[in-house]
Amino acid sequence: MANLNLILLGPPGSGKGTQGERLQEDLDLPYYATGDILRAAVKEKTDVGLKAQEFMDRGDLVPDEVLIGIIADRLESGEADHGFILDGFPRTVPQAEALDSKLHELGRSLTGVILIDSSDEEIVRRLSGRRVSVKDGHVYHVEFNPPKVDGICDIDGSELITRDDDKPEVVRHRLVQYHEKTAPLVDFYKQQGLLNRIEGGEPPEKVEESIRKLISTLSLEEGS
């Protein structure tokens, strides 16, 4: 298979994390959820990790150039020689431009950008129906994965609650922010001919099937 350098886009609750993990297993490629690799760089005390720690300790956002440095470290480490799956970065057009510049320095380019798209109402339905056990954080959903006894965790017996960031009004606010930041990014990749839209309102297995078909097409195009 040709090298595949992929970005996953999608609103919170679209299932891109689930699909990213499945892609990682199917394609045997590293999956970089930006928050995870940022925390790993800080823990490992790499040069860029130490820089990131300075900003985090002050309660400031980590600058784009530091995030790009952390991603570049991973791309140059050898583990991503055959491709990568990037989730959570870029979030804005300036970040996308910085990523393009870094990839160009490394003699690489993006294969495709996969947008897992879902309606706002579907996202609110998914996230606001999520319930978490107070004791150990086990996750349920009132519609898709309900507990045996309403409001009680099957595993630890504690109360199930709605997290603050899953409350409908909070989810809608997060979606407004997502659309404001991501709409220009979607246009940016569309203009480059890299954007591929997948219907995220389908069941996860259906979404996975659609992504697999898309990956097969991208692989053929990359190898031609």
Residue 22 annotated as catalytic: no
Residue found by looking up tokens 């870029």 in the block: 90
Pick the catalytic residue: 43, 163, 206, 213? 163
Distance of CA 74 to the CA centre of its chain: 17
* 3-state SS assignment for residue 40: helix
Pick the catalytic residue: 39, 74, 91, 102? 91
Residue 130 annotated as catalytic: yes
Separation of alpha carbons 30 and 176, rounded Å? 30
Residue 197 annotated as catalytic: no
Q: What's at 21, amino acid-wise? A: E
Angle between helices 34-44 and 47-57 in degrees, nearest 10 = 100
Q: Strand 160-161 and strand 130-133: pairing?
A: antiparallel
* Beta strand spans in 15-164 (E): 31-33, 83-87, 112-117, 130-133, 139-141, 160-161
- The dihedrals phi and psi of 46, each to the nearest 5 degrees, come to -70, 170
C-alpha distances in angstroms, 167 versus 50, 114, 130, 176, 201? 35, 27, 9, 14, 20
Pick the catalytic residue: 51, 125, 131, 174? 174
Partnered with residue 199 across adjacent β-strands are: 117
Pick the catalytic residue: 16, 22, 126, 131? 16
Active site residues: 16, 91, 130, 163, 174
